[in-house]
Structure 1
Amino acid sequence: MGNSCRNLLASVWTYRAVRLALAVFFIVAGTLKLADVHAFVLTIKAFSILPSDAVTPLAVALPVLEIVGGLLLAFDAPGGLAIIGGLLLLFIGVVANAIRQGLDIDCGCYGPGDPEGEVYHGLHTTLWRDLAMLAGVVYCLLWRRVRGRQRFTPATQTP
């Protein structure tokens, strides 16, 4: 790997861009799902992995968790990266299971009328997108580890 690539990966600006992109994706996704919880309930039911009485509470809690995780990540606060990483692992598992079952359903990732679901009509694109976002989480974790920034404090914020 060349020095310019290494410098780009080590840059605080690259870290911020990746972190903020992840935050925006999750804040938008959570907001769109909360805007039409009923449609998200139907999407979750299509995956057929939860008992019916667990679906509605999850359809509310999941988007709230996405928004909270996104906001924490946007401000580089503790817990944000863990929440987003955990959600991505959950989503990857659910989507991989649906692909294994041969389901041809909308992932519901960005609420009802998800453009990706309408355009691609399949879950493979969703799986690849979630894996790419998980790579972003891993990058942020590694960046923090290399830079010695395990926890947020105003004193450790670098320009």
Structure 2
Amino acid sequence: MLSAFSSHIISLIRLFLAVVLLVSGLLHAIQPYYFTFTLSSYQILPPGLLFPLAVTIASIQVALALTLFIDHERMFPIVFSLGLFVTYAFAQASVIYRGMNIDCGCFGFSGTKIDYWTLSVPVGLSLLCIVDLYLSAFQRKGREYINPENVPLGLSSELDGSH
């Protein structure tokens, strides 16, 4: 029962993350120059890297979203999403720490200034990724014990009740 429940939770988490990444990625893709401007306002990377990075991030977000929509078994899109969200959280935390008053740019041009509320978005999304990873690992571990191919010789008869 827990496995079926956790499977539904994993599917909901991945669907939610996919929608967030798809919306963000598409908004960044259709406004690459605005996204480049937003990245420059963070004052973290050299200007020459910003446009290629903006296009790359938008592409990665859309690719991750599509992968999360299509494939619920693989772990790499969740791990990659976690890395992306943690990076966003660190970037926003650095802006707060430096006392800057800039637009978040999380979902295109929104005029939302970075504060602790906007920081909670990538942190919350990171936590969802961690929950997904935990539940997925729990399910995989359960499948390892249940799968007769993974049971050492001699024990499979004890597990299925035949002696």
| TM-score, normalising length: structure 2 | 0.79
Q: Which runs of 5+ in 1 are unaligned?
A: 1-5, 150-159
Distance 2:65 2:73 in 1: 10
Q: 2:94 aligns with which of 93, 97, 100?
A: 97
- In the alignment, is the contact (CA less than 8 A) between 2:3 and 2:139 conserved in 1? no
The reply on whether 1:29 has 2:24 as its aligned counterpart is yes
**Aligned: 1:47 with 2:42:** yes
Residue 143 of structure 2 corresponds to residue 145 of structure 1: no
Report the count of equivalent residues.
139
Deviation sequence 1:43-81 (CA, Å, 0-9, x none): 001001111101110010001011111111222253211
Give the distance between the partners of 2:31 and 2:45, measured in 1 at CA.
Answer: 20
Q: TM-score, normalised by structure 1?
A: 0.80
Larger radius of gyration: 2
Matched residue, 2:56: 61
The answer to whether the 8 Å contact 1:106/1:123 transfers is no
Q: Does 1:85 align with 2:52?
A: no
Q: Cα offset for 1:12?
A: 1.9
User: What secondary structure sits across from 1:111 in the alignment?
Assistant: coil
Distance in 1, matches of 2:88 and 2:36, equals 15
Q: Percent identity?
A: 24
- Secondary structure of the 2:24 match is helix
Long gaps (5+) in structure 2: 142-163
Q: 1:34·1:60 contact (CA, 8 Å) conserved in 2?
A: yes
- Aligned mate of 1:72, from 61, 67, 77: 67
Q: Which amino acid aligns with 1:85?
A: L
CA deviation vs aligned residue, 1:71-127 (integer Å, no higher than 9, x gap):
112222532112211101110110111110011111101012x26x1xxx3332121
